[in-house]
DNA sequence: GTGCTATTTGCGGAAATCCACAATAGCCAG
DNA sequence: CTGGCTATTGTGGATTTCCGCAAATAGCAC
């Protein structure tokens, strides 16, 4: 969809311009916002790249915006910018999943490096999310009954046992079984268990 | 093995005593060290609990000790203590896997909470490591050939195909297969794939 | 050499899976 | 009401898995 872009949110136009100029000089696309509210109006799950976010702003603070974005499931990596060396805040932000926390004045090269790292991280995450989504779409194709049967298959139960537990004929289980394999695009219960295995560990940083 | 203990490393005896007294008053076991070197001599993989570590010390710094511990695969959660609000250092430490980063002067209750959280984290990690170790011990029981066969089973291949690829009789594959299930204490290829699935995601914080 | 383990193979049968062909029944949309 | 989807079941056969019984070869340790 979109190409990786750095979203810059800062109330100080001088900072916004400096950042945008810096990134532009390194061939990194960016877009600026003068308040958390303005960006929040624009935010969409399709965004990719990263977010350069000033902590202290009139109105909604960067930290507040960060919380809102998390609530909105926006997974954009966030790099905080702050002029006030606040260790507890930095620690909390990172523990809450912020990608980085930089003090102003910042070093140009260091900042660009961190931005590039964040973009790279987001690119990888998007790819992972993509295959995860594909998997979930396949899962969604399964009918209710098929999902029930699948659970029992993954529990390692024999068709005979599954038939018993669901009070249906073994033949019916066999039919469901083959439909499940077909829809999930696997050829055995082992493969099924493996492709579904990655669903458990959806972590970030 | 050991009961959870807080290892306190600080060159200032007043700080050491204050921390130990504080923890003792909350019924948390602790032990103190006056230098990174002293602790490093004592460290063992059996330790559990957490590490309260002063950043700035004569000789080896807390950060240096932290690096050494990581190299030694010591998984003890580390809470840094520092008197100098250094945001970049805190950020780097957390990104490197430190559990927390606290500024002096610290709030007693907040510090104890973080210590308890770290101990809790370590306890969970130990449990996870334990079952992981058990799994690896079982894996180690498999002979070379059995491991080869297991790989192919996990690739979803039929016994017939496995026999072809290894240039052995199908019956041999069947024997290996049953030995594998027996040693790994599972009753089907699906279960096998599931118990081995957790091996992929050995992460921390 | 003897004993132990790993690796290999064959035979034969019980049990389970996979599948094509065929059919019944309920529900919902056009 | 007719066509499509879902769920269900049956028959019968090909293929595969699982397993006990039996046994041969090779390497390694005591």
Tell me the per-residue pLDDT of B34-52, one tens digit each, with 9 for 90 and over. Answer: 999 999 999 998 899 999 9
- Specify the residue for token string 């960060």: A66
Edge-to-edge strands of the sheet including A78-82?
A30-33, A5-9, A49-54, A78-82, A100-103
A105 Cβ under 8 Å from any chain B Cβ: no
**What would the pLDDT profile of A181-197 be if each residue is shown by its tens digit?**
999 999 989 999 988 88
pLDDT at residue A99 is higher than 60:
yes
Cross-chain residue pair A101–B87, CB shorter than 8 Å: yes
pLDDT at residue A128 is higher than 60:
yes
Label residue B84 by pLDDT band (50, 70, 90).
confident
Chain D footprint positions (protein CB, under 7 Å): 6-12, 16-20
Whether B177 sits with its Cβ under 7 A from any strand C atom: the answer reads: no
**What would the pLDDT profile of B103-116 be if each residue is shown by its tens digit?**
988 999 999 999 99
Mean pLDDT of A37-41: 95
Q: Percent of chain B at pLDDT above 70? A: 96
B117 Cβ under 8 Å from any chain A Cβ: no
pLDDT at residue B163, as a whole number: 93
Q: Report the candidate in A204, A101, A55 with the shortest Cα–Cα distance to residue B93.
A: A101
pLDDT at residue A1, as a whole number: 61
Taking all residues of chain A, what is their mean pLDDT, rounded to a whole number?
92
pLDDT at residue B159, as a whole number: 92
3-state secondary structure of A81: strand
Å from A201 (CA) to C13 (C1')?
Answer: 44
Rounded Cα distance, B139 and B168, in Å: 22
Mean pLDDT of A40-45: 92
Whether B188 sits with its Cβ under 7 A from any strand D atom: the answer reads: yes
A104 Cβ under 8 Å from any chain B Cβ: no
Q: Report the candidate in B172, B193, B175 with the shortest Cα–Cα distance to residue B184.
A: B193
Taking all residues of chain B, what is their mean pLDDT, rounded to a whole number?
92
Question: Which residue of A lies nearest to B89 if distances are taken between CA atoms?
Answer: A87
- B-chain residues near A190 (CB < 8 A): 153-154, 156, 189-190, 192-193
Label residue A202 by pLDDT band (50, 70, 90).
low
A58 Cβ under 8 Å from any chain B Cβ: no
pLDDT at residue A81 is higher than 90:
yes
Chains A, B: CB pairs < 8 Å: 78
Which value does ipTM take for this structure?
A: 0.82
Å from A186 (CA) to D8 (C1')?
Answer: 24
Beta strands in B38-182 (DSSP E): 49-54, 78-82, 100-103
Mean pLDDT of B154-161: 91
pLDDT at residue A205 is higher than 60:
no
Whether B159 sits with its Cβ under 7 A from any strand C atom: the answer reads: no
Cross-chain residue pair B190–A191, CB shorter than 8 Å: no
Contact A171, A177 (CB under 8 A): no
pLDDT at residue A33, as a whole number: 95
Å from A44 (CA) to C28 (C1')?
Answer: 36
pLDDT at residue A104, as a whole number: 87
pLDDT at residue A68, as a whole number: 95
Of the candidates A87, A154, A193, the beta carbon closest to that of B87 is on: A87
Question: Which residue of A lies nearest to B201 if distances are taken between CA atoms?
Answer: A201
pLDDT at residue B197, as a whole number: 80
Chain A interface disruption, residue of B90, B111, B203, most A CBs within 10 A: B90
Q: List, as one string, the DSSP characters of A26-63.
A: TT--EEEESSHHHHHHH--TT--EEEEEES--SSS-HH
B100 Cβ under 8 Å from any chain A Cβ: yes
Which residues lie below 8 Å from residue B96, measured CB to CB, with a gap of 6+? B66, B67, B70
Q: Report the candidate in A40, A141, A30, A122 with the shortest Cα–Cα distance to residue A76.
A: A122
Whether A178 sits with its Cβ under 7 A from any strand C atom: the answer reads: yes
pLDDT at residue B20, as a whole number: 97
Cross-chain residue pair A189–B189, CB shorter than 8 Å: yes
pLDDT at residue A198 is higher than 80:
no
Least confident of A27-36, A42-51, B189-198: B189-198
- Give the number of other CB atoms < 10 A from CB of residue A192: 22
pLDDT at residue B143 is higher than 70:
yes
Mean pLDDT of B154-158: 91
- B-chain residues near A203 (CB < 8 A): 201, 203
Least confident of A40-44, A165-169, B81-85: B81-85
Cross-chain residue pair B193–A188, CB shorter than 8 Å: no
pLDDT at residue A201, as a whole number: 60
Whether B178 sits with its Cβ under 7 A from any strand C atom: the answer reads: no
Whether B189 sits with its Cβ under 7 A from any strand D atom: the answer reads: yes
Rounded Cα distance, B162 and B149, in Å: 7
Which domains does chain A carry?
Answer: 5-129 (3.40.50.2300), 142-197 (1.10.10.10)
**What would the pLDDT profile of B176-185 be if each residue is shown by its tens digit?**
999 999 999 9
- A-chain residues near B201 (CB < 8 A): 200-201, 203
Rounded Cα distance, A191 and A79, in Å: 39
pLDDT at residue A199 is higher than 80:
no
Mean pLDDT of A83-101: 92
């Amino acid at each position: 969809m979109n190409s990786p872009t750095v979203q810059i949110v800062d109330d100080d136009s001088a900072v916004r311009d400096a950042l945008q100029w810096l990134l532009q000089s390194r061939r990194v696309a960016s877009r600026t916002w003068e308040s958390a509210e303005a960006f929040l109006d624009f935010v969409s799950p399709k965004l990719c790249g990263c977010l350069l976010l000033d902590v202290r702003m009139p109105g909604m603070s960067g930290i507040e915006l960060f919380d809102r974005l998390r609530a909105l499931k926006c997974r954009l990596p966030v790099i905080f910018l702050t002029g006030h060396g606040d260790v507890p805040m930095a620690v909390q932000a990172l523990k809450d999943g912020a990608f980085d926390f930089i003090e102003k004045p910042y070093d140009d090269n260091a900042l660009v490096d961190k931005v590039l790292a964040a973009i790279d991280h987001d690119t990888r995450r998007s790819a992972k999310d993509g295959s995860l989504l594909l998997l979930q779409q396949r899962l969604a194709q399964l009918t209710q009954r098929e999902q029930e049967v699948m659970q029992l298959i993954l529990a390692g139960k024999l068709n005979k046992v599954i038939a018993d537990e669901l009070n249906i004929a073994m033949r019916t289980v066999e039919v469901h079984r083959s439909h499940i394999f077909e829809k999930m695009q696997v050829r055995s219960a082992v493969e099924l268990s493996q492709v579904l295995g990655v669903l458990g560990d959806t972590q970030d940083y």
